[in-house]
């Protein structure tokens, strides 16, 4: 089934432009309600969370109207991290969870992500069926069957209490000074409170959302702000989340950044030593550095690669029964604890390793030598198909010949933005720059 609305992470776009309009949110809500009510039961409920974007108010109300129109009872959580929606969907016995967020994107964008009753993101097939319902005539509930909506005041508190249970019992963070950058996003209250309750001295950054400053020079895609705070305050470590707190970057005491690959290597090695790494396997995407693969192989462990997107990581983990995976971008998925990437829980796991080992963050953030990697993005307009151009195909083929087994090349469209992503890895940095620039130039000419 060809999908036009759903990308790799729900429906996403610029607020008040298709498909992120109130009209489409209402239709999506009604279609999702119809999809999850098809068994005919009258006791259906849905939880809705959001981040701090101004457009979240509009989309939340439209989704609520659509869901209620098909008989769903709506429980509104307010601003909470994306993983909180996955957790509370299961905890509150809901049939559906919805998160309104565009993750690390600027405030002008927004998105709608759906979770099934098990707390996991919906499959491609389920999203395709919802999209088909949107395109057709949606059957509404009878007047007496319209759903109700209510605010859940303690949703964030429930999530915070759960998060603390993932931290080792009896361990405290006393004496540890932690910078926490919440990107002016969904975790702006939850993350600092959890760290404080566990005993850390907390230096909060990005905790003053105003509707338009989410991810603005803060958060996991703009780590310089947190790095400067770490150095200025003499902090032991920094934790930098994105707008919906499902991804994380770790900063050591010098401000050096550890991405998702280094965090996964740390956790995989520790879990393997403890006999906790199921199947001796870590699941990561094709974007993860070749150095991570060498690290795993050197430990007698295995790296399973998937398509880009944390949902595909999770799907592979569920198929293989594996319990650790993630992305270089900072999604760390630990199915022992959560159904999706959880930046706060991943940050706590890093702090637990600091407490266990007694080592500074700088000793823990460099688990393997990184193979030089370059990623460049090229934006394209609506309707453009740059990867279909003969000139682009020729440039890619030429790059593969030049690399000739000395590196790795990955060219793909973003699933969340109109971007072509050009990534290559190679020990020869001059060759690396040359092949990436050639392909980028060809794509730019094509668009």
Report long-range pairs for 408-416 (Cβ below 8 Å, ≥24 apart). Answer: 408/290, 409/435, 410/286, 410/287, 411/387, 411/439, 412/308, 413/387, 414/377, 415/7, 415/8, 415/9, 415/308, 415/309, 416/7, 416/8, 416/9, 416/12, 416/102, 416/103, 416/105, 416/111
By DSSP bridging, strand 109-115 and strand 96-100 are: antiparallel
| 17 is known as an active-site residue | no
Cβ 78 vs Cβ 98: under 8 Å: no
Catalytic residue among 69, 103, 240, 288: 103
Between the CA of residue 388 and those of 2, 288, 351, 403, 420, what are the distances in Å?
A: 18, 25, 46, 22, 12
Bridge partners for 281 per DSSP: 302
Cα 156 from Cα 145, distance rounded (Å): 29
Cα 90 from Cα 97, distance rounded (Å): 9
Residue appearing with tokens 């009510």: 37
Cβ 299 vs Cβ 269: under 8 Å: yes
Name the residues annotated as catalytic.
103
């Amino acid at each position: 089934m060809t999908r036009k609305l759903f990308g790799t992470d729900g429906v996403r776009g610029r607020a008040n432009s298709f498909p992120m309009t109130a009209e489409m949110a209402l239709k999506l809500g009604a279609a999702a309600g119809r999809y999850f009510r098809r068994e005919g039961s009258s006791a259906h409920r849905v939880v809705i969370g959001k981040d701090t974007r101004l457009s979240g108010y509009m989309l939340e109300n439209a989704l609520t109207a659509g869901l209620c129109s098909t008989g769903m009872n709506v429980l509104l959580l307010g601003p909470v991290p994306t993983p909180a929606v996955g957790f509370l969907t299961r905890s509150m016995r809901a049939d559906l969870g919805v998160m309104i967020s565009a993750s690390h994107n600027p405030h002008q964008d927004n998105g709608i992500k759906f979770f099934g009753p098990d707390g996991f993101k919906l499959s491609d097939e389920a999203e395709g069926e919802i999209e088909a319902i949107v395109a057709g005539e949606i059957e509404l509930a009878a007047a007496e069957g319209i759903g109700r909506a209510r605010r859940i005041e303690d949703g964030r508190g429930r999530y915070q209490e759960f998060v603390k249970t993932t931290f080792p019992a009896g361990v405290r963070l006393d004496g540890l000074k932690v910078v926490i950058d919440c990107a002016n996003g969904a975790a702006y209250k939850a993350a600092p409170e959890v760290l404080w309750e566990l005993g850390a001295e907390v230096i909060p950054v990005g905790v003053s959302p105003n509707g338009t400053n989410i991810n603005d020079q803060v958060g996991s895609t703009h780590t310089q702000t947190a790095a400067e705070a770490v150095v200025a305050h003499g902090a032991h470590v920094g934790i930098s989340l994105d707008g919906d707190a499902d991804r994380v970057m770790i900063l050591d005491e010098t401000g050096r950044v550890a991405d998702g690959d280094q965090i996964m290597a740390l956790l995989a090695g520790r879990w393997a030593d403890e006999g906790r790494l199921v199947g001796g396997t870590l699941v990561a995407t094709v974007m993860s550095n070749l150095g991570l693969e060498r690290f795993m192989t050197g430990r007698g462990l295995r790296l399973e690669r998937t398509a880009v997107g944390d949902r595909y990581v999770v799907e592979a983990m569920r198929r293989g029964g594996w319990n650790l995976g993630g992305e270089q971008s900072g999604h760390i998925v630990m199915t022992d604890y959560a159904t999706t990437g959880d930046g706060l829980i991943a940050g706590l796991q890093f702090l637990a390793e600091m407490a266990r080992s007694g080592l500074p963050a700088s000793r823990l953030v460099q688990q393997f030598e990184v193979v030089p990697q370059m990623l460049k993005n090229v934006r394209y307009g609506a309707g453009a198909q740059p990867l279909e151009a003969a000139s682009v195909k020729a440039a890619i083929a030429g790059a593969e010949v030049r690399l000739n087994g000395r590196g790795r090349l990955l060219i793909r469209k973003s699933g969340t933005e109109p971007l072509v992503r050009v990534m290559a890895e190679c020990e020869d940095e001059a060759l690396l720059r040359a092949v990436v620039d050639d392909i980028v130039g060809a794509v730019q000419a094509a668009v």
